[in-house]
Structures are given as structure tokens and as C-alpha cells.
Structure 1
Amino acid sequence: MKYPVLFSPIKIGTMEVRNRYVVPPMATGLARADGSPTEGHVAYWAARAKGGYGLLIVEAAAIDPLGKGSPWDEPGIWDDKFIPAWKKVTEEVHKYGAKIAIQLHHAGRQTTHDKIGGQPVAPSPIPCPVEREMPRELTTEEVYDLIEKFGDAARRARDAGFDAVEVHGAHGYLIAQFMSPYSNKRVDEFGGDFMGRMKFPVEIVKNIRRKVGNGYPIIFRLSGDERVPGGRDINDSRLVARVMEEAGVDAIHVSAGVYASTQYIIAPAAVPPGFNVYASEQIKKVVNIPVIAVGRINDPLLAEDILESGKADSVALGRESLADPELPNKVAAGLTEEISPCIGCMQACAGYLFDSTKSNISCLVNPFTGREGELKVEKAEKSKNVMVVGGGPGGLEAAWVAAKRGHKVTLYEKENVLGGQYRIGAIPPTKQDILKAIRYYITMGKKYGVEYKMGVEVTDDLIMKENPDVVILATGGVPLVPNIKGIDNPKFAKAVDILEGKKEAGTNVLIVGGGMVGVETADFLGEHYHNVTIVEMLPEIAKDEQAAVKFFLMERLNKYGVKAITNATVREFLDDGVVYEKGGKEEKLTGFDTIVLAMGAKAYNPLEEKIKGKVSEVYVIGDAIEPRKTLEAIEEAARVAVKI
């Protein structure tokens, strides 16, 4: 299929962009502690320029050290010392014909003392409901000083070779705080009414224009709807867009949300594709400059439709560009089945952002993201005979990557269908995009010559007979059945059996275990009108779900009337219920037609010891080592596949 509008050029001010694909700014965690960009930035952005995106917008860069807000080290542009390092990024991107902008940022109240070493500042002394740290109200003089700093940062961006700047007026950061009655309670010239609240962004744009000249493109990003009580809605944002066009911006980039509605800033799979397009459509009706849409635009057909129907002029693909930096080139070549898909899981993008053990952004489906400079798929020096045991996500990833490197790969799967537990994970509500990832791995495997042998239980005898050079054991895990009185009851069902349709649940269901598997099984059963109760030993259910995913999951569980008993340790299983201990007291819970076990998993690795010393190279990945999330299995698979 052809996409004529997607691949037509567009002008933003004096800048001509080769197509309508935009990579929006996303925190990467690639900066140094002092705010300077790294070789990681160079590799990351070069990959997306080479992959065909027209305009790349580098993540929020602080215009002042006290304006940093990212949980990771935020890049800076508050000093001329950053110019040479940023120049390396822009020069590399320009080699591939893309344009590159940088987003100018100040977090305002949406930061903490720990991140900036001082008290946050804001239009008014009202704390962010998420960060919950009291900000200091900026004086009028300090506001004017920040206006100058935005302008100085834009001049540095121009000198570093950026083709444009984006002023970050979205997501509840400082400029958005000034623009919104949700956070601006001032009565001086920077508050009081709509035009007072707009003075800060207007003066910033005018200051930038004075310092970079009339021909230099300025993009303004705003949240079309802040989605909080008392915040700006789309009607207000239409007025904001008109004022900013008059102030001199060359394009409007329409996002959504503030920290208190983060689930709409980085929306999970529960939010429909293109959910925010209505906002760009409304903005486009009132301005004469290009409008950029963003928000789960995860299909080229959807992107083309948005542009063709006049709802936006360009489309920004955030997590889609993490999942596949080559997406535009693949669409242009008609290779859409080879696109590595964003599945809205949030685990290695937003999930890593708030995980202190992780150093930078990545992607569950594409573990090469964020590691472009160090994890590369290169031709192997010697082709080896590789045997992969297990067709779950780890096995599928290892197989296609190894095959692409020139190895002869055979994958064995004991079931008659590929995907393993990952495939079962696609059955609960809103999880269906997981199937896209499985299809993608299979497509890539077939492209590079992986041979799939289905319905084969691998034994050590079979391995010896096949005589491989390398064995990758991706045998996964099996449900954990702890030694609790009464648990060995044939009437009970494992969660995976309920989801696969191997066992049918009655009207009243008790799920023992409130982790990811248990709550998603409850979600599935609730959708099908079962009465569900969860018993969980921890203080909360769904503790291992990513925050935005959990937000919508809990909404659905509440809607279905799912009950949860937490801090409850099961001591005995009865025929129709359990005896549990809570607060030192035993309670009995009975009257259930079906009891579902979702009490975790244990590693399944029956072959490693049997073949150790008999095969030159043996690797164990994923849940076969110990049960964890899918993203660890895929990441380990990629690292093994590029090394053999």
C-alpha cells in the first residue's frame, strides 16, 4: 500500500522536512550527570535518522540546572559548554537527511530537591500532586530572568546545529504551570486571567525570536487537555494555540496530560490508538501553521488517515520509534510486516524511567534500543549450527537475531504453536498487541532462515543426535504449586489453563495470588461476568504492573466488582475456598465454584545439567534461569545471539 501524504515533504517555518514522521522528545537516560550528551545520544539519534524519520526532537533539555525534572540525568543546554557535544549529535543526524530539533525545558514544580539540589520553583506555591514537594513562588524579576534563559538556550541550540527548537509547554512543566489555572494563582502580570497566564510563553517566544532571528523555526508543544480537575481543556488550548501562532511559533505539537494524569502522557495499550488526535484536529481548525499529532499512532494506515483527513500535518511516533527506528523505511518499502511493534506494555520505556536500577531507556520488543552503540547485529565470523529449545519470546528473539548473523538456526517447540507464556499473556483485555510481537519475531525468523520444529519435546538424546555447536535453552517456567494443605485438588485450575480455555470457570471464582498473572486473569474473568475475589499475601494487588497499565487495570477491576483481600496468607485450601491468616487471625473464605492458582512460577530447565560438557556452547535465558518479566528474557536472548 502507498502512503502519499506520509511521505510528502512539509515546511515548518523555513525548515523543509522530508516526510511527516516525527520522533517526539522522550527521556532517554543517556546524558552524563553534568547534563552533557554522550556517544549514546549520537548512536540513538543516528539510528532514527538513518531509519527514515523526517524530524527528530531531542528530549527535554534543561535551560537551567534548577529546571531538571527527569528521574534520570537530564541533558542540559544552560551553558555554552554543551554546544560542542550537541554538535556531534546534529552533524551525525544530518548525514542521513533528517532534521533535528531540541526541546527547551524547565520542570518548575514537577521535580524534587533530590534532583536539583534545591527547592523547586513555580508560578504559585502549590505542590505537584505527584512529587508532593512545596515549590517556591517565582518573583516577577525571576520570571523575566527565566525568559532570558529560554532565549539563550535557543541560541545555543542554533549554534550547535539544531534545525529548530521546541518550547516545552506541555505535561505540566513550568510553562504549562503558568498557562493553567490548575497551577497558576498569581495576580501580577503573569497571572490573574487568560492573557496574564499566557504572558510567560509569549515572552519566551519573542525572546527566542530576537536571539535566533526571524528564519529559525520554533515549535510549541502543549497538552491539548490536561485531564485534571481545574486544568486546561481543549477549548482553552485552542485559544492558547491562536495566541502562540500570533507570538511567532511555526508549528504546534499537541500532546496531553500533566504528572497527575501521566497515564495519558505515555498511554498504555488500554488507551485506544490515536486517542489524542481529536485534540490536534481541534487545534488545526484555529491555526494556519503545521500541527503535529501524537498518541499511540501505531499503524501507518492510521497515520495516513490522520493526515489525509486534515486532523494533523505530521505524526509523532514516540514509543513506536523506540520499538523500530527503521519504521519509516519499512513502510516506504512495503515491509510493514517487518515492523517491530510497540505493544503498549510500558515496561522498558516508562518502566525503566522510574526504575533506579536501570541506566537508560529501552524497549521490551526491541532490546537494541538505547544500546545502539554497544549491542549490534553483525555478521558472525563463523557460521554455527544453533539449536534453540523453546518458542517463547526469548527463544524467538534469539533465533532470528542469530540467523540474521549468518548462523544455521533450528528452533524446537513442544507445543504446536509458538509464543509460549507470552502468547497466553495476550489473552486478557487490552493485551492483544502482544500477538503483533510474536508475529514479528516469526516473520523475521522466516526471513533469515530459521527452521521451526513444532510439537517436539527436546531430550538430551535428541540434542546429541543433532550435534549442534550451540544450544540456547529457553524452556521457560511452570506454575508454582507451593506445599500448602489441600492444594492438590483436581478441581482447582491454574491461571494459564483458564486463559487458554483448557478449564472453564464457574460463576464465583477465587483467585489465589494477586500479582500480574492473577490480576490479569481476574480482568479476563470479570470481563466475562464472573464474580471474582483475589487473595494476596502482599499489601496490594498488581504490585508488579507498570503504573499507567495498573491505573486502567484497576479501573476495570473496580467496574467488574472484583474484590481483593490483601495481607492475607493462605494456610489451607478447602474444596470451595481457603483458610487464610490476616493480622494474626485466621479467617475462612468459602462458597466458590472455582479456585484458580496464580501463585507465581518456577524455572523449568531439565536439560542444562544433562548436556553440560557435551555441547561446546550452552546458554540459558529467561524464566529457565528464574521467573521474571518478558523483557528480561528478550534482552538476555539478544545479548546471547549477538555474542555466539
Structure 2
Amino acid sequence: MFDQLFSPFSIRGKTIKNRCTVPAMVTDFCNEDGTATERYIAYHEEKAKGGWGLIITEDYNVDPLGHGFKATAGLWNDDQIESHSELPKRVHKYGATILAQIYHCGRQTNSGAIDGLPRSSSAIMCPFGDEIPVPLTTEEVKEMVCKYGDTALRAKKCGFDGVEIHGAHGYLITQFLSLYSNKRIDEYGGNFWNRTRFAREIIKDIREKCGEDFIIGMRISADEFVEGGLTIEDNKAIARMMEAEGLDIIHVSVGNYLSVDLNVASSHSSHGWFTDWAKAIKDVVSIPVITVSRINDPFLADSILASNKADFIAMGRASLADPEMPIKAQEGRFEDIRRCIGCNDGCIGTLFNDEPIRCVLNPELGLEYEGGIQLAEVKKNITVVGSGPAGLYAAITAAKAGHQVTVYEKGEHAGGQFYIAAIPPTKGEITDFIVWQLAQCKKLGVDIKYNTEATLELIKKTNPDSIILASGSEPILPPISGLKENSKTTFAKDILDGKVKPGSHCVIIGGGQVGAETAHFLSQMLKGVTVVEMKDTIASDAPLAIQWHLTRALKERNVIMLTGTSVVRVNENAVIVKDSHGIETELPADTIIVAAGYRAFNPLAEELAAANVNVQVIGDAKQVRNVLAATTEGYLAGKTV
């Protein structure tokens, strides 16, 4: 079924067993001195176990001033070789090929991260920075070329099969390639030949130092999607020049920090949305091409290969969600594949706070070194209350540990608030995860009893050994005059769940992610929508890529967004609001939708405590947060119950 995806490919005498590729993704799993940790090594080893053919590690810094995050890998000195030498050994054990991505972030960092001013091609600030970078002198550029080559040589000494030069996403090499950032007038600026000189010299230096049996790849941004930036035509020429210099494989991405919503595309971008750019590069070179972005399923991957758009398929966030995807696909276990939903919560949202990456769907990510779920010495009868993501993860994990698990759900289906979150446009893949959870429960013998409320009497009757309470949350009704009494008032969840028919003029109170996505949903139904938000921005609680796409979509759908605005009162036909200047406005409304947040719902916890029954409270039932907290707490509760 996957003849393309699982066919081998040879480069520089090394046979890559299949086309399933893990691209470089910063994890923040290393030590701050750039040395490897067991956590970092085990994370990559898990992917090798899972059947990935080509693994490209996160950015190995070529210089101590070259990293954008504190706990990233480094091979800028010989003292770092020993700790990283264990990684290729562990990956090779499972037949995978491994490349070390090497990079310098240039201006896309700050003095807090590198203990010095950023360096770049020119003295132009990063859009997300607040420091003017120091331009590298001509001599310093030549020294930097040597640093890339020396780092590659250290990677070879570690046992890596090759390196991938990071020439994409607005990092230092791109800062030389692109007129968007390169305003130099020396031999590294101005014309096309000069702007590519830095990258060409790096390839040449690596080849001279590492020999003919060493793979040299390069990642490029086919289009920067910024005014004055690189375009696909520029990069077709760049790709040909790099091939002529001795490049072995080219990895086609897009964007830079100003277009970060595209180079880490969320669910608002379609699957494989820029594979045509990879095809455009492939058409002008003879070396293999890697494509990437929003490819989260083996059927998609194989189809792209069959279309001759690329030679390898990079599925980064998909590998975070399920490191065993290749093996599961080969074995035909499609219902067991946990597919990335493009939420960007744990992988990107967490990382941008300079914290180790997580995955909403895979709470074991980053914990591989702990050894996974162990069989319990004493098998228990476990009751889980609630079948949202927290409850079902607790049930799955406890069942894997050997316990007998029963889930009580007072509603008619699973998913809780996460099911509601799947209703707005671009969010439908969330149902894939709910289906995955249910499939795992079925395979593990978890008994889910729907339309059954767990009461104190039921608990006493069934007498479980342990209880995990994951009863979720309920929406908050703010104390606004006239709101509670108005028959036109409803909650966002009831609109999304199809329990309330919206009118033609909808006013949404609350412009966080829930309110904004409800507005998006209603605007697709051609309803008139006004969002009232007290903060200065819409969807400020959403990951950056989601926020940017969502606000653009609302503008395109003519949704009125009133920020810095509060609701004063509600009458029979309108919502009265006040802006930051104290000016009141009356907004006609035939449907008033409240999206003002949630609070924990756990009445059973107090009853159980009063009856001296031990219970773990997890997820929103404990404290309203995001789904990342829910799945994590569910996993840990099931593991330690």
C-alpha cells in the first residue's frame, strides 16, 4: 500500500531505509552548555524505534552566540563531542540514518539568550527583537564559514551520517541570502552571486573537512512570504547553485520569523500546503528533495511521493504526536496512529516561552527516558468519571498498566469540551484524536458507560479501588446587568454543539480563542457577528500562528471586533458596550453569546471527600487550563493510580 513511502534511497553510499523523515525541531532538552542529556537522546531513539528512516536533529549551534533558545544542542567545541556521540549509536541500532542540523540564528535571538548582542549580515533588527544586531565584518564571515565546517567535522566524529545546514526560516544564512535582511556592499552582499557566497563557502568547507562519504543537506525557505524577501524563483536558482557546490539533499520549507505562522503552519493551513514549492525545486535539481508542513498521515505522504513532488516526506509534529507512525502504517494499524492536529500548543507555544517542548496528544513526549508505562504489581478496579481528554487518557494509561477500568459519562458521547473545540472551521481534526482515544479504550477493554452520571451512591455500590475524577468544567456567566434574565442569552458551547439556533445578528461577549472561533463558525454561516473583548487583541490566549490566521479570517468574513471594550448592560434587543474612552454604543442583537471562560466542575469531589473516599481530581475538574494540562494529568494519574 505504501510502495513509495517505504522504499529505500541511497545518498553518498548510505542507504536510508524509507522516506519517512523527522525534520529538525528545537526541543530544549539539552543542557545549557550545549551538551546532550539522556532525555534528548531517548527522545530521538524513540523515533528510530518507531521506524523513521531519516532523522534530522535540532539545531546544533556552531557558535556560543548562535542559539535562540537556552537549552539547545551545540558542537562548537570539542568538549561537546563525547555527550553527543551516544546519540548516533542509539539511532543506528534501529537502522535509521541521522543528520545533525547545524545553524547560527543570527539576529533571531536576544542578549538574554546568548549573553551578548546578536550578530547578522546587517544592522537590521529581527521583527520580534528589541536589539539592533552587530553586522559581521568580512573577516568574521570567513571565520564563521570555518565554524560551520568545524561543527560538521565534530558531528562526523560523533558518528552522524551527515549534516543539514540550516539556511531557512530567517536564520543567519538566510540573512545573507535575502535582500530582505542583507544590505551589505562587500563580497557577501549586493548581487545574487555575492549573497550566496556564504552558503556556498560553507558547503565547500564542510566537504573538504568531512570527506566524500559525508551527507551534506541544506534547508531553505522556498518563499519568505515577506515584502522584499526570497521567492520561489530566487530559490530555484539558489538550489541549483548549492547542488553545483556539492550539496546532496535539499529540504524545502518556507517563511521566517515575520511569517512564523507559515513555517510552523497550524490547522488553519491545509495538508501539504506548499508541496508545489518542493516540486518547483525538484524540477530544477537532480539531488533528492524533502518536503514538509502539515503532512500528518502516511496516506498523504505516499501520495505526495507518488505525485513526484519530493523524494522524502518530513513529518515533524506528526512524529511528536506519534513516534511510531511508520511502524503502525507498515503493519496496517491505522486506527492506532495518533495524528497531529496542528494546534501548536505544546510544540510551539511552550517552546516560545523557552521551555522544553510538549505535545497535547502525546504526554509521553520528553519522558521517553523514564521508560514508559509499567505493569502494576497490584491490579486494581479503577473508576474514571468523565470521558474528556483527561479522563480517557487516564483510562488508557491505567488499562495499559493492567488495571480494570470503567468510565462513566453523563453525556451521550465522549470528548467533553475538546469535542466542542472541534466544531469551528479548521478544527475538525480534533475528532481524529477523540476517535483514537476511543479505539484505544476498546482495544484495552475499557468499559465506557454513556448517559450514566457517577453519583456517590453509584460509587459506593461499585466500590472501586481508586477513583479518577475528570468531570471537566462549565461556562461562566459574568455578572452583567440584564444578561442572565435575557431569553436571547446562550453560551458559545451550546451554539457550537447545535443546541441553540443562532439569529442573524450575533454579539459574542468575550474575544479569547473560544469567542473568536465561535465568531469564525458563525461567520461561515453568513451570520452578522460582533465580538466584544476587554483586552486589546482578539484571541490573545491562542498560539501565535492560530491567532494570526484567526484574526485574518475574521476580518475577511467582516466580523466586527471591538477590542478594549466592555459590556455595560443588556436589554431586550441589544448589548450596550463602552469603549476605552467611556463612549457607550448599542449593538443590536437577536442572539447574545457568552464566551467569558470556564470554571472547574467537580461537585462529586466534595461528596466523596465527605464520605472519606480517596479521589484524584484532574484536568479542568481540578483547574481550568488547556488540553495539554488535561492529557498530561490524565496520563500521570493513570500511570500512578
TM-score bucket (shorter structure): over 0.9
Number of the residue aligned with 1:395: 391
Deviation, structure 1 residue 163? 1.0
Letter of the structure 2 residue corresponding to residue 484 of structure 1 = I
Indicate yes or no: 2:481 matched with 1:482.
Answer: no
**Residues 496-507 of structure 1: pairs in structure 2 closer than 5 A:** 496-507=493-504
Structure 2: how far apart are the matches of 1:67 and 1:163? Answer: 23
Find the partner of 1:413 among 409, 424, 442.
409
Instruction: Tell which deviates more after alignment, 144-153 or 558-567.
Output: 558-567
Q: Distance in 1 between matches of 2:379 and 2:89?
A: 36
One-letter amino acid matched to 1:441 = Q
Per-residue CA deviation, residues 151-180 of structure 1 (Å, 9 max, x unaligned), is 100100000011111111111111111111
Question: d(CA) in 2 for partners of 1:589 and 1:406?
Answer: 60
The answer to which of 184-193 and 416-425 deviates more is: 184-193
Query: Quick check: 1:64 aligned with 2:63?
Result: yes
Corresponding residue for 1:599?
Answer: 596
- Which residue, 420, 428, 440 being the options, matches 1:432? 428
Instruction: Give the stretch that moved more between structures: 580-589 or 48-57.
Output: 580-589
Task: Give the whole-Å Cα distance in 2 for the aligned partners of 1:570 and 1:225.
Answer: 43
Contact 1:349-1:361 within 8 A present in 2 as well = yes
Give, in whole Å, the separation in 1 of the partners of 2:564 and 2:262: 31
Match of 2:567 in 1: 570
- 1:220 shift after superposition: 1.0
Secondary structure in 2 matching 1:100: strand
- Once the two structures are superposed, residues 549-579 of structure 1 have per-residue CA deviations (whole angstroms, 9 ceiling, x without a partner) of 0111011100111112222332322122233
- Is residue 297–residue 339 contact of structure 2 (8 Å, CA) maintained in 1? no
1:3 corresponds to 2:13: no
1:246-395 to 2 correspondences below 5 Å: 246-356=244-354, 359-374=355-370, 376-395=372-391
Q: Deviations over 1:279-320 (max 9, x none)?
A: 111111111111111111112111111112211111111100
Distance 2:419 2:102 in 1: 41
* Preserved contact between residue 14 and residue 217 of structure 1 (Cα < 8 Å): no
Is the contact made by 2:538 and 2:551 (CA closer than 8 Å) also made in structure 1?
Answer: no
Instruction: Please say if residues 368 and 375 of structure 1, whose CA atoms lie closer than 8 Å, have aligned partners that are also in contact.
Output: no
Q: C-alpha displacement at 1:584, in angstroms?
A: 6.7
Deviations 1:120-170 (A, max 9, x none): 111121222222421111111111000111110010000001111111111
Written as runs of structure 1 = structure 2, the 5 A alignment for 1:59-208 is 59-70=58-69, 72-208=70-206
Please report how far the alpha carbon of residue 585 of structure 1 lies from its aligned counterpart in structure 2 after TM superposition: 2.6
Alignment counterpart, residue 544 of structure 1, candidates 518, 521, 541: 541
1:521 is matched with: 518
Q: Deviations over 1:54-85 (max 9, x none)?
A: 11111011100111123x42221100011110
The superposition leaves residues 593-626 of structure 1 with CA deviations (integer Å, 9 ceiling, x where unpaired) of 1111111111110111212275764111111112
Q: Do the aligned partners of 1:404 and 1:448 also contact (CA within 8 Å) in 2?
A: yes
Give the TM-score of the pair, scaled to structure 2. Answer: 0.98
Give the distance between the partners of 2:537 and 2:133, measured in 1 at CA: 31
One of 632, 635, 638 as aligned partner of 1:635: 632
Could you tell me how far apart the structure 2 residues matched to 1:457 and 1:613 are?
19
For structure 1, the 5+ residue unaligned runs are none
Q: Is the 8 A contact 1:470 1:615 kept in 2?
A: no
Q: 1:7 to 1:615 in 2, by over 3 A?
A: farther
Q: In 2, are the aligned partners of 1:375 and 1:639 still within 8 Å (CA)?
A: no
Structure 2 distance, partners of 1:567, 1:176, is: 38
- In structure 2, the CA distance between the partners of 1:223 and 1:410, relative to structure 1 (3 Å rule), is same
Structure 2 residue ranges without an equivalent (≥5):
none
| CA–CA separation in structure 2 for the residues paired with 1:576 and 1:13 | 73
- Code of the residue aligned with 2:5 in structure 1: it is L
Q: Check whether the contact 1:375–1:642 (CA below 8 A) recurs between aligned residues.
A: no
Q: Check conservation: 1:120, 1:135, Cα contact below 8 A.
A: yes
Kindly indicate whether the alpha-carbon contact (under 8 Å) linking 2:577 and 2:587 is maintained by their aligned counterparts in 1.
Answer: no
The corresponding residue for 2:618 is: 621
Instruction: Determine the C-alpha separation between the residues in 1 that align with 2:5 and 2:245.
Output: 29
CA separation in 2, counterparts of 1:363 and 1:612? 33
Kindly provide the amino acid, as one letter, of the partner of residue 624 in structure 2. P
- Residues of 1 paired with 2:347 and 2:552: CA distance? 23
Q: SS of the counterpart of 1:128?
A: coil
Residue 580 of structure 1 and its aligned partner are, at CA, apart by: 3.4
> Where in structure 2 are the equivalents of 1:448-467 lying within 5 Å?
448-467=444-463
Q: Secondary structure at the match of 2:24?
A: coil
